[in-house]
Amino acid sequence: MHLDRAMVGRETDAMVAMRLFGWEPSPGVGQEPWEAELWYDSNDDPCLRDDPDGVPFYSSDMNAAWQLAGILRDSGYAVTVKQDALQDGRVWCEIHKLDKTLVVVRRQVIAYAESAALAICRAALALVDKCHL
């Protein structure tokens, strides 16, 4: 999947919840997965959500995207987000693996998007694809 042209919006949000956190939606009849108000974690325990919109807006809400970046940092990755004038002002997110001394071991992935939140999501999903997290 080429993540620069991949899904956007709520489909991306649902993919982040499913592929990075291992959540599974319990959608109602006719609902899309991201509309589910109840999600189950990898232990089949319900993830109760206070948000009537279901899964967080990872791809459009910077607070939710930074939470995602924080989880990656806690797992030993460095997350860099910058705007690139050479890419028509688009934002890029690069994720590096760090060693125990916090030195970059190697770049894992890079992804471009129109916003920082979407770039973080695309890079995180690319990391899952590359590293089989």
pLDDT at site 35: 74
pLDDT at site 1: 41
pLDDT at site 115: 92
Question: What domains appear along the chain, each with residue ranges and CATH number?
Answer: 3-131 (3.30.2120.10)
Query: What are the φ and ψ backbone dihedral angles of 109, each rounded to 5 degrees?
Result: -150, 160
pLDDT at site 102: 65
Amino acid identity, residue 38?
L
Tally: H helices and E strands in the chain = 3, 6
pLDDT at site 7: 60
pLDDT at site 133: 58
- Give pLDDT tens digits for 50-66: 555 678 889 999 999 99
pLDDT at site 101: 72
Structure-token pair, residue 115: 């916003």
pLDDT at site 30: 60
Nearest to 122 by CA among 42, 2, 17: 2
Residues in the chain where the model's pLDDT stays below 50? 1-5
For helices 10-19 and 116-131, what crossing angle results, to 10°? 40
pLDDT at site 3: 47
